Chain A
């Protein structure tokens, strides 16, 4: 486990990964457990359907806003906000910590005195972030599938998987941006701050653009749009949207080692 930078990076996150997983499982279980008590109660559905458009825009996950079906319920309660939020926080933290965290802790000098190139170091660190997020995605999907079965919620595994994959891709996009910022500046706090601000801006843009005609054409700029646009809980994934998110991940990931390799490391 400790014989590579990738291995050590995974070794280091084993505890925090456990806590993240616990949080995701707990939240998913709670949300799904409530489902049997709210489904088929017309009053609740009516209440939600009478939400103002703005609120619907901020709590919808692709497609139309509906509360009475499993897909609509999970979209509103989980995938519209909490699931991407949890994964984004984890990904941005992991991405920023990877290089900048080690640089600020002062261990990077000693690490790079070993026969490992900066490019390889960055790629292994990126690999660790990807594996961590993939792991959290699997935890999310497993928690959804198991609790949906227990609660008798009828929604296909493929739909749950599509939404989970989309959420992981969205998180990884901002995680890769945080990684890029950390690798190119060496400042962890700055990387977290800028990546988080970008995520919030993207979320707001996507939500507001669905309400305001004048800026609707800007919607595709936001990764959140591509996260939800195919309405994964109803219709699965669409290659175009997946490719946009994957493209952000790839570009940020490819630029990171190059910029990291060019600069002076902080003392």
Chain B
């Protein structure tokens, strides 16, 4: 079942600003990351989802309901952390939580207190005295205290210290574990690649690609560094599929590997290997490649879709 469904969704602000003809579906239980540089249209898309602004074209549904006509119903099941998080400065954290709990008709504040404890957030302090990180915690708390079916997070990890980031990851995992769905935006892939199942790449208001993180990982080439007892012959690995030699310094050779690792291991085994290091693909590099449109198609589905998208 799709939790969010956008169809030809557009918000045209004129002179090329806005988002255009977005088509995407977010499935129940997944973590969907909306990635793109600042100004690409991530926040615009999220504000369309929340009915804060109205589309100039197309439609968007959440839980199968129209985001405008059924906004109250949708929002009851949704938690949201804005990118530019502004809170009531004159309230304390606890007052803010009580206010939103009141609007959501939540009588039991125990879950909220429990999350606050995990985030090590002091609810008695006035919001104006909170650091950026603590405000962000409060934002996460108000978005998750009612165990929403859908979490919408606009640049959620910016400003979080590593410890809080860990709790944040836990909250995301807990949401999906009970069947909830997470939609988050980011401009830094490395922040979301551990938690996202699928990523949508948005560029200049248009979707460049929607792909699973797994497929992107496979698309990325690995970096293999081998150290030999004797320098292998120059042509020793030429015929190994997916392998190209990048650098060679005496006994040390650096390969780039796209595809299965086994043929290279078999080829390496013909020589005396002193040390071997295989780096996991860095999605950041893949994305940079995608952005440059540098990935060349070779029949691979993903490459094709990327090539088409770009």
Seen from chain A, the residues whose Cβ lies within 8 Å of a Cβ on chain B are 2-5, 7-8, 12, 105-107, 109-110, 112-117, 264-265, 267
Contact = CB atoms under 8 A, between A and B. Distances in A.
Nearest to A262: B54
Contacts of B252: none
B98 interface: yes
Given A2-B98, A267-B43, A116 B84 contact: no
Contacts, number: 71
A107 B50 contact: no
Contacts of A3: 98-99, 101-103
A110 B100 CA distance: 10
Contacts of A264: 52-54
A116 B72 contact: yes
A117 B72 contact: yes
Interface residues of B, number: 33
Contacts of B80: 109-110, 113
Contacts of A113: 50, 75, 78-80, 82, 152
22 contacts: A2-B95, A2-B98, A2-B99, A3-B101, A3-B102, A3-B103, A106-B84, A107-B87, A107-B88, A109-B47, A109-B80, A110-B80, A110-B82, A110-B86, A110-B139, A112-B50, A112-B52, A113-B79, A114-B104, A116-B72, A116-B75, A265-B53
Nearest to B152: A113
B72 A106 contact: no
B73 interface: yes
A116 B100 CA distance: 10
A106 B75 CA distance: 19
Given A8-B88, A112-B75, 4 more contacts: A2-B95, A3-B103, A114-B104, A115-B103
Contacts of B82: 109-110, 113
Contacts of B86: 105-107, 109-110
Given A109-B52, A112-B50, A4 B103 contact: yes
Question: Most chain-B CB neighbours within 10 Å: which of A8, A112, A114, A116?
Answer: A114
A4 B102 contact: yes
A41 B261 CA distance: 109
Contacts of B88: 8, 12, 107
**Considering residues B53, B78, B101, which has the most beta carbons from chain A within 10 angstroms of its beta carbon?**
B53
Given A106-B84, A264-B52, A264-B53, A114 B100 contact: yes
Question: Closest 6 interchain pairs by CB?
Answer: A3-B102, A106-B86, A113-B80, A115-B76, A264-B53, A114-B103
Contact of B52 (A4, A107, A265): A265
